[in-house]
Amino acid sequence: MRAGRSVPNRRAFWAAVGALFALAYSQSPLYTSNQNQYFLHGLASAGYGHLSQDWLANTLDPTPVFSWLVRATYASVGSWFFYIEYGLLLAVTLWGLYAIGGSLLPGKMTRSRQLVLLLFLTGLFSEALRFPLSHMSWADGGYLLEGGAAGQRLLGPVFEPSVFGCLLVVSIALFIRGHPHAAAVLAAAAATVHPTYLLTSAALVAAYIGVLALGDRRWRAAITTGGLALLGVIPILVHTLTVFGWGSSQVSADASRVLVEFRIPHHALVSQWLGPSVAVKMLLILGALLVVRRGRLFPILLAPGIIGLSLTALQLATGNNRLALLFPWRVSALLVPVSTTILATKFIARCFRLFDQRQQHLPNWAGRAAWAIMAVLAVAGLTSFTLHLRARNQEPEQRLFNEVRRMAAPGQVFLIPPKLQAFRLATGEPAFVDFKAIPYAPAEVLAWYDRIQLAQFFYRDNPADIDCHLLDRAAAAGVTHVVLEPAQQGADCEMLHKLWGDDQFQIDSLKP
């Protein structure tokens, strides 16, 4: 009977810990930041508003698996379930980090010691810690202990394809527990959901193969592990290479230059993201390598690190834009949180060793205190979400979004200020273009660039500089309505006819 009860008890334990970690980590309200791009295809195909008529929603989808998940979730359950899905991934992340850290702890893992380690991990990755770190002068300071270089990270405030990088953490955990095939499958799954993990997953699997073949002399296991990973990524690899056609044509070269130098230089140019915070993260990785230098984790961390660093140096030396779009530095998004976990575990191990030397056990109240502190961190994370939701609902553009939803009808396309990234998902109505959401197929990137230039030329701060003839080009592309800010409301464009306005925005119909 006791053995029968142990499995449900263990499941209940991890369900409770996972829930507290998910709440403590916190999320941003739907739809925020990158969600305005990555949710577009899925919501459009699920019948959300009139987004199926949006130009960008009909471009080639860079993350088809995630879009399928968005469509299935919205159509069958509703948008609220996106929070649950991300919460589950956060709980999975905690288990992966715990398994990696726990493998470094000597002696028996009692329940009290489990809770101490879980408390440390929850605190290190909690919103309660990110908030003070975010007020540091360094860029992306809030994610100093978990984010990689160039503002790229496994987790983050929103549910998006990149958060499936947590499967890479679980992959490492399964490998060191003796499950190389499952580890290879999860590495392939992470890259399948978000193709920018292809390089990181390949480096990780290469490390697995090396450990199995050279360290364990298990050649058959090494071959099958590599074969499983390769089979798993073939569909998304074919999709990425053939559908998006990043070849040697001039169109591809121009499109890569637009992405690297105009749209995402903060992710793609080393000169844009290299700074003190990156130096701290490099020290975390080096410290972790030093800690595990005699263990099984050492080659698993070293191989991706060397591959990422080498390709980063090559890109810096050549200035190759296509290599920049591979984001070789993205391996740091995996290495930094794992390294933080390793260093935290090293500190905890020393504390446990002191108790063992004195032949003492952790106090009986240590476990209860850990539960209480994790609950406080969860409340802090939930409070942060509530405050962000309240602040978002009080933003001036919400009145605009409400009015657009009220007048929504098929066939409408809105020319909007390029910075108004939340427009599509907040209203369900098609937009001509915005700066945040972009396509990735070369010809479509150049088409987006033409559109964004038109929008930027129209939305001038000085009404005298506004060229009303740009509206004819917009109308030819299907625009039926124009959202004006105060500066553009002073322009004398006879083809605009006011429908609604407040002190921040105005909606005009466009009749060329």
Question: What are the pLDDT digits (tens) for 19-71?
Answer: 999 999 999 999 999 999 999 999 999 999 999 999 999 999 999 999 999 99
pLDDT at 137 > cutoff 80? no
pLDDT of residue 87: 98
Q: Please give the torsion angle defined by the CA atoms of residues 91, 382, 340 and 364, in that order, rounded to the nearest 10 degrees.
A: -80
pLDDT of residue 139: 67
Query: Mean per-residue pLDDT for 151-163?
Result: 95
- 322 and 447, same structural domain? no
pLDDT of residue 3: 45
Looking at the 3D structure of the chain, how many domains does it have?
2
Bridge partners for 497 per DSSP: 509
- 109 and 158, same structural domain? yes
pLDDT at 361 > cutoff 70? no
What value does the mean pLDDT of the chain take? 93
- 225 and 133, same structural domain? yes
In a domain, 5, yes or no: no
Name the residue range of residue 71's domain.
17-388
Which of 388, 410, 442 marks a domain boundary?
A: 388
pLDDT at 369 > cutoff 70? yes
pLDDT at 135 > cutoff 80? yes
pLDDT in tens, 402-419: 999 999 999 999 999 999
pLDDT category of residue 356 using cuts at 50, 70 and 90: low
In a domain, 11, yes or no: no
pLDDT of residue 106: 80
| Omega before residue 98 within 30° of 0, cis | no
Instruction: Output b/e per residue, 45-55; b: 16+ Cβ within 10 A.
Output: bbebbbbebbb
- Residues in Cβ contact with 472 at an 8 Å cutoff, skipping those fewer than 6 apart: 495, 512
Largest interatomic CA distance in the chain: 86
pLDDT of residue 2: 43
Query: Mean per-residue pLDDT for 336-344?
Result: 97
- 139 and 95, same structural domain? yes
- 110 and 212, same structural domain? yes
Which of 369, 388, 407 marks a domain boundary?
A: 388
pLDDT of residue 136: 75
pLDDT of residue 4: 46
**Contact by Cβ (8 Å): 508, 482:** yes
**Contact by Cβ (8 Å): 119, 112:** no
Which of 357, 388, 419 marks a domain boundary?
A: 388
Query: Mean per-residue pLDDT for 265-279?
Result: 93
Helices 331-357 & 297-318 angle (0-180, nearest 10): 150
pLDDT of residue 360: 64
pLDDT of residue 6: 67
- Residues in Cβ contact with 483 at an 8 Å cutoff, skipping those fewer than 6 apart: 400, 414, 415, 416, 417, 420, 423, 505, 506, 507
Query: Mean per-residue pLDDT for 230-238?
Result: 95
CA dist 424 → 48, 218, 420, 468 (Å): 10, 53, 9, 24
CA–CA gap between residue 63 and residue 192 (Å, rounded): 8
